[in-house]
Amino acid sequence: MPGKLLVFEGVEGCGKSTQLKRLHAALPQSDRLHQLQRRGFVPQILTTREPGGTELGAGLRQLLLSDRGGAPMVSRAELLLYAADRAQHVEEVIKPALARGCWVLCDRYTDSTVAYQGYGRGIDLDLIDQLNQVATGGLVPDLTLWLSLDVATGLARTRQRGVADRMEQADLAFHQRVQRGFETLAMQHPERIVAIDAAAAIETVAAEIFAVVEDYLQQWYAPSLTA
């Protein structure tokens, strides 16, 4: 049976990494999963992230997020580094996992490039779509959970965590443009992007995400579940 790619997206401090871990921990209790297992399909669940889901990507993540001093990174270099990370990640990790029937939970993917480098940095959106196409070979998420949160609230959360990375250091207007990017993407792709209210308590958000994923699993595997 085919694997599935589930992606978590959102602005800084929206809680996506926490929620990804929560979903990973909760999925073994899924009724849909149990039904599939009874029919002999035992999908592995894999968690990964962009940037940094491969050994090459770990180095690229370091380059992208650390503030190295010296001349600032230009936007096109930033775009290409994210694309390089993704190309390696898709080929080395995501595609083989999907071919094995895994459920891949990925922290950020192509929508982040549209939101951050497109809306945030102002790079041409068609160029970004082309580059995403090159990096992914056309691999689109089966479901994108967009954790929607007010930008100022998210940034305040990240500041509590300590030193801001290179992207978090960008000004509020940048992060507000990023947010507009995610809002626009959600309107353009209602078939795969589900908005989750990330302002709620962690437990509430986790429960909502679990319910959404159960619904999607039902849709994806309905013939196998009723067979």
Binding site for ligand TMP (CB under 6 A): 12, 49-51, 82, 107-108, 112-113, 116-117, 167
Residue 135 structure tokens: 């990096």
196 φ, ψ to 5°?
-120, 135
CB 194 to ligand TMP: min, Å: 19
Distance CA 227, CA 222 (A): 8
CB 79 to ligand TMP: min, Å: 8
Widest CA span of the chain, in angstroms? 61
Distance CA 28, CA 67 (A): 39
CB 86 to ligand TMP: min, Å: 7
CB 9 to ligand TMP: min, Å: 9
Residue 85 vs 142, nearer CB to ligand TMP:
85
Residue 36 vs 106, nearer CB to ligand TMP:
106
List alpha helices for the chain, DSSP H. 16-26, 31-38, 55-65, 75-89, 95-99, 110-112, 125-136, 151-161, 172-188, 202-226
Residue 17 vs 218, nearer CB to ligand TMP:
17
Residue 3 vs 52, nearer CB to ligand TMP:
52
CB 59 to ligand TMP: min, Å: 14
Cβ atoms of residues 88 and 56 within 8 Å: yes
Residue 143 vs 147, nearer CB to ligand TMP:
147
